[in-house]
Amino acid sequence: MFIGENLTNLRIMHGYSRKQLSDMIGITEQAVWQYENNYTSPKMQIVNELKRIFNVKSKYFYTKDILRRNMTPENVKVMNIAYRSKVMNVISQTQAEAKHLEYLDTFVNYLTAKISYPTMKIIQLRDEVIEYLNSSDDDRLIQINKVAELARKRLDFRKDTNEDLMFLVEKSGVFVFEKAIGEEIDAYSLWTSNERPYIILGNMKRSAVRRNFDIAHELGHLLLHYRLEFTSLDRKEHKIIENEANIFAGTFLLPEDEFVIDMKNIFHVTNPDAYIDLKKKWNTSLQVLGYRAANLGIIESKSHRNFYAALHRKGYLKIEPLDELIPLQKPLKVKSIIDLVSKKGLVDIRQMIETDWKVDISFFHRMTGIDPKFFGKYLISEQDFGFENVTDLSLRISGKDK
């Protein structure tokens, strides 16, 4: 029997309205509604179209899908999704991302069912931040800067570089994925109800330095705005919250003591090209370097305005020097987990894809952002490929499965 809920989940995750899906298939919107509510079952020709659109097997629609079987109910709450965006997001997009996170969280549950973690650093840090914020009488700006400095220390960042940014954030316990979200949204983050933090990075063509700022910005949301109901914010409140995350990111990426020393070597503070060596050192954009210098009072407001005007005049607001040379940091944690559980015989990846999830490789690519070739090697012959080194991400095998 065709299960309409499975279709609904796929449609929402892909961000399609019933009208959009009906137009793609060449049927009425009413027909899609009937399929989803189990009033009628689609003919096999329609099922074949659905499986092509969503990259799943035909049998996906005839058994309870992976969400029904493995998802923790109410674990992903739409109201708690924090966006790095120039605009407040429409509810349909937010619902699509919430559904996407449900699939991702189910995927992580599936992979990690037989491995366990020590207490994650990100949770310890978040609890320390909450205690500080609840007991502190400091000005909000001081609070944000102190939290950023604390985060850099607790996550074991070096004082003079951000080259391990992605690795250290993932190692702390954050699950980072890539996804083509859309032009208006750079990234978003969320704490699930079972205390699992996610950062979803969009705009995969962004430069490495802009991506680094996205990561730091979302880390700021995870620490400063825990369980905040973002969907209830008005435009003014949304702008304030985004600005707080921006301030956090600047402080986090450019620690004051080291950066002040660096700026002593900048003699032409209004010339963006004078900051290129600092961009190379910190893997941050020229724009962020200028803002941080202005926020610390190292350069005056007038000088910063001239600096920003020069950025615009040189075309650096679109693309900066070194943008095409600094390598983009990619999420590796989930790939490492997949290699680990496969190598230990805890998860059969072929069975996961074809039998348990009943999808095609392209489904996992869209869901996780991981190259299809990575999954494809497991479908050819796992014995014919060597495994990548499992990065130290503080994982261990559950005792019963050693």
Q: What is the mean pLDDT of residues 115-123?
A: 86
Domain spanning 1-64: CATH superfamily: lambda repressor-like DNA-binding domains (1.10.260.40)
Q: What is the mean pLDDT of residues 78-104?
A: 75
DSSP, res 382? G
Across the chain, mean pLDDT equals 89
Give me the pLDDT at residue 181, please: 73
Q: Amino acid identity of 23?
A: D
Give me the pLDDT at residue 353, please: 94
What band does 382 get if pLDDT is binned at 50, 70 and 90?
Answer: very low
Give me the pLDDT at residue 230, please: 86
pLDDT tens digits along 326-345: 999 999 999 999 999 999 99
User: What whole-number distance in Å separates Cα of residue 273 and Cα of residue 290?
Assistant: 11
Give me the pLDDT at residue 143, please: 98
What band does 52 get if pLDDT is binned at 50, 70 and 90?
Answer: very high
Lowest-confidence segment of 34-43, 226-235, 313-322, 389-398 by average pLDDT:
389-398
Give me the pLDDT at residue 117, please: 74
Structure tokens at 235: 């435009």
Q: What is the mean pLDDT of residues 8-37?
A: 96
> Helix, strand, or coil here: 317?
coil
In the predicted structure, residue 400 carries a pLDDT above the cut 80:
no
Q: Taking a C-beta distance cutoff of 8 angstroms, is the pair 283, 209 a contact?
A: yes
Q: How far is CA 141 from the centre of its chain?
A: 26
pLDDT tens digits along 292-309: 999 999 999 999 999 999
Structure tokens at 284: 């941050």
How far is the first Cα of the chain from the last one, in angstroms, to the nearest whole number? 40
DSSP, res 231? G
Cβ neighbours of residue 239 closer than 8 Å, sequence gap 6 or more: none
Give me the pLDDT at residue 381, please: 53
Burial 172-208 (b: 16+ CB within 10 A, else e): bbbbbbbbebeeebbbbbbbbeeebbbbbbbbeebbb
Q: What is the mean pLDDT of residues 69-77?
A: 79
What band does 384 get if pLDDT is binned at 50, 70 and 90?
Answer: very low
Which ranges in the chain are annotated with CATH 1.10.260.40?
1-64
What band does 383 get if pLDDT is binned at 50, 70 and 90?
Answer: very low
Give me the pLDDT at residue 390, please: 43
In the predicted structure, residue 105 carries a pLDDT above the cut 60:
yes
What band does 387 get if pLDDT is binned at 50, 70 and 90?
Answer: very low
189 vs 205, which has greater pLDDT? 189
Give me the pLDDT at residue 395, please: 53
Which ranges in the chain are annotated with CATH 1.10.10.2910?
115-253
Residue 338's nearest CA partner among 289, 385, 274 is 385
How would you list the strands of the sheet with 175-178, edge to edge? 82-85, 185-191, 197-201, 175-178
Give me the pLDDT at residue 399, please: 44
Q: What is the mean pLDDT of residues 370-393?
A: 65
In the predicted structure, residue 252 carries a pLDDT above the cut 70:
yes
Lowest-confidence segment of 6-20, 127-141, 314-328, 376-390 by average pLDDT:
376-390
In the predicted structure, residue 388 carries a pLDDT above the cut 90:
no
CATH level 3 topology of 115-253: Arc Repressor Mutant, subunit A (1.10.10)
Structure tokens at 109: 């549950």
User: What whole-number distance in Å separates Cα of residue 353 and Cα of residue 369?
Assistant: 15
Give me the pLDDT at residue 70, please: 76
pLDDT tens digits along 142-157: 999 999 999 999 999 9
